[in-house]
Amino acid sequence: MTNPLLQEWITPFELAPFDRIRDTDFEPALEVALKQEMDELLAIANNPDAPTFENTIDAMMAAGKALGQVLSVFYTLVGSDSNPKREALMREFSPKLSAHSSAITSNKQLFARIKTLWDSKDTLTLTPEQDRVLMLCYRNAVRAGSALDGAQETRLKEIKLRLAVLGTEFTQNLLADERDWYMALDKAAMQGLPDFLIKSARSAGKEKSMDMPIITLSRSIVVPFLQFSPRRDLREIVQKAWAARGANDGERDNRPLAQEMLALRQEMSELLGYANFAEFALETEMAKTPSNVRDLLMDVWKPARERAMQDQEILMEYMQKEGLNGALQPWDWRYFSEKRRQQEFDLDESEIKPYFQLDKMIAAAFDCANRLFDLDFSEVNLPLYHQDCRAWEVTRHGKHIALFIGDYFARESKRSGAWCSAMRSQSKFPQEQRPIVINVCNFAKSDPALLSLDDARTLFHEFGHALHQMLSDVTYEMVSGTSVPRDFVELPSQLYEHWLLVPEVLAKFASHAETRKPMPKALMDRVLSAANYDMGFQTVEFVSSALADLEYHLGAPKADIMGWQKDILDDLQMPCAIEMRHATPQFAHVFAGGGYASRYYSYMWSEMMDADAFAAFEEVNNPFEPQLAKSLEDNILSRGGSLDPEELYAAFRGRLPSVDALLRGRELAA
């Protein structure tokens, strides 16, 4: 029987035939696809004709289709619906893929052809996009070590191989810790918990084939439990379990893995001619240098910490009113903050949540995309990789634009967090292809599925990434959609969050799950007035993580990584009742592959732009102003990485933003 991963997919939307793919198909398919891509690239490298853009860069862009097809399916499954077989394959594939990449990088004939074109680029007749692709091909090759030889080249291959193995181990350790821990709730432990949380806890119990409600380490369950449980002893257990992910002694301990990764990244950076990994990583970003990143983060840290310390004093007063003395602890903050929110804004999460139904919020995200970009969404019935997934065809004026897949519920087989990925990206070369985009979230499953306001923001955030993929209109996949610098990629996603809280959007889609009535205006006003509530806490937990990430990559690592983390937080005078959003052993952004290593700050850099970009709509008092929406699509969403991001943003807004917009948006400005 022919391996379905290697066939041409004659399916609706050319979607992977998930109903025919088996785990046993991946290993043989990968071997074939690796050889095929290598043969294609060797043919380019050994071409006796003088290098041209067409016979070198275009040929490289057309290579590796089979490998992309195999990996698009595999990575989708291993992240969203893993199992022991897939985890074992990931451990096997990571070093193979690293070795394959190193073999390409070390091909001197291929690099010579790219360098010849780069050195003579002024004599070539290239489009702006081709010029950008050539620059990226050359820069990527140099940064991957193509210019090295001898012992340095050999050592770089060894480092990359080891980093690939460590990143996979880090991810699987974290998933295992999140999958295995739970706390059963008896009748006494359920006292004071809202109905939506009890329903989610019962659903989590069913997921584990247990006839009882349980608290798991899914953020969508942990956070509301810490908000609402009056049992301080149980809150402490849950908070400590949440903080201990990846930091338990034994074979799942991520601390030595992170320590080794930092040492290897420093060595790799020095081999490539950089003082440290932060300088290496930031060279390709909008921020450019570690000092620019630090300046931004410290400009935000100072007012955020000041606000958090003021809030901490207020929450301690709430705690003392309940007869509790001593310091406010991390397992106390959310509980007493929720009490304060109820009192100051007359808001209760259990009152708000019925108005944020998952289906309604999906419809809201689609409706905003329709009003802004003329996109229509029609649900389609397709064989997908999990029964919880749903799919929609995206069209514009009847023309197919994309296939969108939503995978919204938490489960044991899914890694934590939320993300957007493309099983296929938009491109026009070597032939036209439209994107297949997936949003993955980890919302608590219940009937009906209700979201917190933070969950609803996450849904809009990931859909903003999806729009970046769907509306892409470039020639080369290399610069398609979200293939942009890390500190620019969060602009479309964070910008889209703003439309969630547009009053007319809430009026249309925030309806009560039981009464079906729209959110009363008085409640909506309270929700909007509290939109930035507890921003000191939220900003401190994020910026502390970003500053630790930066500090870790500024030179040789210290011997004790957790001691180092403590020193960083002590220097910042971290409020005692707030913990990092991502402590080192669970900092998957930085250590599970390293896509955000030295770049976790990027959410905040993008926020400078998203606050300023939405202000353009506010200035004309129309969140759906047609010409601004068209400019947003034409200058940012459709352009991918085909031009420098500063050019793209300036084309939309006429200038670059400053940190002032960010501070105003978070209500942290003086």
Rounded-to-integer distance, Cα 178 and Cα 268, Å: 31
Give the bridge partners for 391, in sequence order. Answer: 380, 405
Rounded-to-integer distance, Cα 663 and Cα 670, Å: 9
Strands 436-443 and 419-424: antiparallel
The runs of H, that is alpha helices, within 374-513 are 453-470, 486-500, 503-509
Asked if residue 267 lies in contact with residue 553, where contact means CB atoms within 8 angstroms, the answer is no
Q: What CA–CA distances, in Å, run from 594 to 166, 172, 277, 591?
A: 10, 14, 11, 5
Question: Residue 150: which H helix or E strand, with range?
Answer: helix 150-180
The owner of tokens 């006003």 is 525
Rounded-to-integer distance, Cα 670 and Cα 512, Å: 37
Nearest alpha-carbon partner for 642 in 464, 520, 480: 480
The owner of tokens 């939307």 is 13
Three-state DSSP at 123 gives: helix
Rounded-to-integer distance, Cα 280 and Cα 553, Å: 10
In the chain, what are the helix, strand and coil shares in percent, each to the nearest 5? 60, 5, 35
* Sign of the four-CA dihedral 116, 120, 125, 128: positive
Query: Which tokens is 583 given?
Result: 């402590």
| CB environment 443-479: b (16+ within 10 A), e (fewer) | bbbbeebbbbbebbbbbbbbbbbbbbbbbbbbbbbbb
Instruction: Mention every residue, 6+ apart, whose C-beta is less than 8 A from residue 538.
Output: none
- Please pick, among 37, 285, 338, 462, the residue that the annotation labels catalytic: 462
Nearest alpha-carbon partner for 480 in 543, 537, 407, 421: 421
Q: CB neighbours (10 Å) of residue 207?
A: 18
Question: Residue 91: which H helix or E strand, with range?
Answer: helix 84-105
Instruction: Mention every residue, 6+ apart, whose C-beta is less than 8 A from residue 54.
Output: none
What would the DSSP string read from start to end of 204-263? HHHHTT-SS-EEES-HHHHHHHHHH---HHHHHHHHHHHHTTT-SSSTT--HHHHHHHHH
Query: Which tokens is 361 given?
Result: 């919020």
Asked if residue 668 lies in contact with residue 535, where contact means CB atoms within 8 angstroms, the answer is yes
Strands 399-409 and 436-443: parallel
Asked if residue 224 lies in contact with residue 197, where contact means CB atoms within 8 angstroms, the answer is yes
Nearest alpha-carbon partner for 369 in 648, 637, 610: 637
Q: CB neighbours (10 Å) of residue 312?
A: 22
Query: Which tokens is 182 given?
Result: 């739970």
Rounded-to-integer distance, Cα 84 and Cα 23, Å: 10
Annotated active-site residue 462? The verdict is yes
Helix 330-345 and helix 290-321, axial crossing angle in degrees, nearest 10: 70
Active-site positions read: 462
